[in-house]
Amino acid sequence: MEFLTKLPLLTAFAFTLMLTLVLPRLLERLRLPGPVGYILAGIVLGPQVLGILKPDGQVIHFFSEIGKLLLMFFAGFEVDLAQFNRARRKAATFGALTFACPFILAIAMAAALGYSPNACAVIGAVLASHTLLGLPLLKQAGLMGRESVVATVGATVFTDLLSIFVLAICLPIHLSGFDPKSVLIEILWLALYVPAVLLGLSWLARKMLATMGTTKSARALIMLLVMAIAAQVAEWIGMEGIIGAFLAGVALKRAFDDTPSDDSLEIMSQTLFIPVFFIAAGFLVDFRVFFTTLREQPLLVVGVLGALFGGKWLAAEIAGRLLGYAAPDRRLMFSLSVPQVAATLAVALVAYATRNAAGQRLIDEPMLNATVVLVIVSSLIGLVLTDRATKQIATPNPPSG
């Protein structure tokens, strides 16, 4: 099948579009969530099967990065601000728990396997964040305004911020030892960045709307520009761009107020960019790495998966019961917080690439391989559980209390 790897770019693109049309709909008929089909398409099209698409291709990489940012941007933009203001305490409660529970379990697991305290903290950060892969399913089911969903979406920014913050502390410790000054600088950047995006970019967007008008093209360009600015500044100060994208979505929601957003941008995102992000996640599946890690490091793989699923379930149960949510909402919170893709990979890859003066990596190759297994398993199971949870909830109206 070598001829498949030499297909013209347009032919490969058409083949990709065909699979992204067929596989999700086929899986939906099998009562599996459509986004799983995109991941399967990535496995089929990626280097491990047909080799039609290259993971290091500039076009795929760019589309995937834009899709990741747009996924988080629309997560922020879909938040009902009035509902979020009422639920911000609940979002903070769940955010703290859904970070702390897997973080603590992962540290205990890594320490038992002999990792250094610094590496244990990074491994905890790898497992503590989550990616909202199930949002397209919630939007389709009309559940974006449900209070438990708003709390979970809000909790995402807490987990991602804390994960990146832990990494920002551990990197200089691994390279040159503990330096309180660098920790204080990172805290200062965070304290300045979050209000600057929520207030400053919201003000900028209002001015741009007043100057450029509210045509569809103007609204779409403003949305993309604000998202890009927030994501880029986040990366400049050592954070992951998805945090900026999420905050930009919230800021633009405030700026647009009653002005309608541009549906064409969301349609393009859901049709092209976000599916490519899922497809790129499928590229991570290397069956040799997958089975080698399972065979040679079974305790590590089981420990990582156990810390993730156990920690996220425990957090959803504790937070859900404290906040008065019924069992279906607790299951929905758990399923939404399970998938590990964006921030998880960002933290793991940066930590793996970081070597100290002795040439030691912050996390080793077995842990990186276990993270790949984690991404695959958590994404697929999380999407399936989210699909089932949405079907168990009969009405999109939030529960009282």
| Full pLDDT tens readout for the chain, 401 residues | 454 556 677 777 777 777 777 777 777 676 566 666 777 778 777 777 777 777 777 777 888 888 888 887 887 787 666 666 777 889 899 999 999 999 999 999 999 998 999 999 999 998 998 888 888 888 888 888 888 888 898 888 788 778 877 887 887 788 777 677 777 887 788 789 888 988 899 899 888 888 887 787 888 888 899 999 999 998 888 777 877 888 888 888 888 876 665 577 777 787 788 888 878 777 766 677 777 777 888 888 899 999 999 999 999 999 999 999 999 999 999 999 998 876 787 778 778 877 888 888 888 888 887 887 888 888 889 888 998 888 888 554 544 44
Position 358 in a domain: yes
Contacts of 6 (CB under 8 A, 6+ apart): none
Residue 187 to residues 128, 181, 237: CA-CA distances in angstroms?
A: 19, 10, 11
b/e burial code for range 51-72 (CB count within 10 A of at least 16 → b): ebbbeeeeebeebbbbbbbbbb
Query: Which two three-digit tokens encode residue 318?
Result: 């504790």
Provide the H-helix boundaries in 113-201: 117-128, 135-141, 147-176, 180-195
d(CA 367, CA 190): 29
Position 41 in a domain: no
We report the CATH number of the domain holding residue 213 as 1.20.1530.20
pTM (two decimals):
0.73
Position 19 in a domain: no
163 is in which domain, residue-wise?
68-276+297-392
d(CA 42, CA 51): 10
How many domains is the chain built from? 1
Position 268 in a domain: yes
